[in-house]
Amino acid sequence: MRQDDGAEFISASLGRTQKGRVSLAHYYTEPSHTFAEYLLVPGYSSTECFPANVSLRTPLVKFHRDEEPALTMNIPMTSAIMQAVSNDTMAIALAKQGGISFIYGSQSIEAEAAMVSRVKNYKSGFVSSDSNISPDTTLGGVLELLAKTGHSTMAVTEDGSANGKLVGIVTSRDYRVSRMSLDTKVATFMTPFEKLIWADADETTLTQANDLIWERKLNMLPLIDKNQRLRYMVFRKDYTDNKENELELTDSNKSYIVGAGINTRDYSERVPALLAAGVDVLCIDSSEGFSEWQRLTIQHIREEYGDTVKVGAGNIVDGEGFRFLANAGADFIKVGIGGGSICITRETKGIGRGQATALIDVCAERDKYFKETGIYIPICSDGGIVYDYHMTLALAMGADFLMLGRYFSRFDESPTDRVMVNGTYYKEYWGEGSNRARNWQRYDLGGSKKLSFEEGVDSYVPYAGALKDNVETTLSKIRSTMCNCGALTLPEFREKAKLTLVSSTSIVEGGAHDVILRDKLGRD
């Protein structure tokens, strides 16, 4: 609310006067709050309320009330657009669990597109081969390609192209580096076509291909056309992954869904390259989204591609910012400024807002916009998550999904090094606003290629192991809490959730207190 007592001042030296009236800044009378200042109050739970019945499916992009969203996720988790978090390895691991990674854009266009391509080609029912050699390729060339793609199974075609005439296959079992010269040609050690089991690309379904793989105990089945040209490859491991990861997120071609970050500078070159690589959704990576630069970026994408290309925007912290990006055409909107664990924007620039208050405000405006227009724009809560239960609170407050940096940076699949400090393993983690990231495009500096000051730090986070194990534990907590509130879906959870502010004393009460923990005494 605007605090303005209408007082008349005689002295013009007080500044900003109009007809003797002093214009004051806009003041919010209520303090902004963090997630740690809230708790959920349990509600009635029916006999149907148990975790296995809970669905965490959530929309990723906007949709009309009479339509289904074009993109959804099976879990409400995305990984942050950060160098220290989201590369192709992270994208594959998270898609297996039902979420989406946004590969970081603070790298060359070619490098980012290559990461997207590796994700899209990693998991498909019918895979287009990306590791192709000719019979004249040497063992040295095979090893170079292996280092580049990480794929040990290579198609040997007459011309070395992905869709050339298939003449053989090379796997790691076909050669021994210690016993063969690097000049040895593939033709001498490949498995020739005559000894391969293959299938007709035009007549074989994915189910039939998998059946043949299991019946003949194959690791890979090539699919060829009537001219013996390679069309696809089907891998045993893809079928196994599908059975192990029931929530995995794939497109109509059975490829993993992946997102990518873009900036407000080189989007006219970066966007087409990412689309050519197969990206499913884009997100503008910026320190502050209430900006004409973001509107112009979205406008360009709409003019070039219409509504088929999905792009999220942000970050903002109030309803006014939401309206701006909604009117600009954003497909989802990110909330949060200064709440990230490595972000120092608030102490450096004095801008931001408590994440819980910002989220509640924006979600209320989202719901109001939906009633007015019939268009639902998903909200992504970005920042402020310290404990797993904060994720549950964010979802109860209205977030459709979360963007997480520190959380995912701790896992094996993040792109940073694991280091040992004083006998304990950590992972490196740095902010996009740090000098280490050198992500100047993120800050709308009008073409400047130098950060005048940092808005992020370079740090370590405790190493936590594999993504799959940690995500499963976190989701178990979320599902359990939803059951405590009598909800089996996220929309139902938002409707039924009852939130209460807590005092500093009750925060202490909520943890272990008035006891001496056994591990503090060094006992088992």
pLDDT-above-70 percentage for the chain: 90
Catalytic-role residue among 49, 118, 231, 343 = 343
Buried b (16+ CB within 10 A) or exposed e, 128-164: ebbbbbbbebbbebbeebbeeeebebbbbbeebebbb
The rounded distance, in Å, linking the Cα atoms of 108 and 47 is 53
483 burial (CB, 10 Å; 0-12 / 13-18 / 19+) is buried
pLDDT in tens, 202-239: 899 888 998 999 999 999 999 999 999 999 899 888 77
- Looking at residue 2, its pLDDT comes to 38
Told to judge if 380 belongs to the known catalytic residues of this protein, a careful annotator would answer no
Residue 488 DSSP label: S
Q: What is the mean pLDDT of the chain?
A: 89
- Annotated binding residue 20: no
Locus of tokens 């509130």 = 485
If you average pLDDT over residues 343-358, what whole number do you get?
86
Domain 126-243 sits in CATH 2.102.10.10: no
Q: Which listed CATH number (1.10.3720.10, 3.20.20.70, 3.50.80.10, 1.10.287.110) goes with 35-123+250-508?
A: 3.20.20.70
- Annotated binding residue 447: no
pTM of this structure: 0.80
- Quick check: 520 pLDDT over 80? no
Told to judge if 265 belongs to the known catalytic residues of this protein, a careful annotator would answer no
- Annotated binding residue 287: yes
- Looking at residue 236, its pLDDT comes to 87
Q: Which band of pLDDT confidence, cut at 50, 70 and 90, is reported for residue 63?
A: very high
8 Å CB contact between 241 and 254: no
233 burial (CB, 10 Å; 0-12 / 13-18 / 19+) is buried
- Quick check: 8 pLDDT over 90? no
- Annotated binding residue 92: no
| Domains in the chain: boundaries | 35-123+250-508, 126-243
Same fold, 35-123+250-508 and 126-243: no
- Annotated binding residue 337: yes
CA angle 342, 343, 346 (to 5 degrees): 145
- Looking at residue 10, its pLDDT comes to 38
Q: Which ranges constitute the DSSP H helices of 132-285? A: 139-149, 206-215, 236-244, 267-277
Q: Is 20 left (phi over 0), alpha (psi -120 to 50) or beta?
A: left
H/E element holding 222?
strand 220-224
Catalytic-role residue among 442, 479, 483, 485 = 442
H/E element holding 403?
strand 401-404
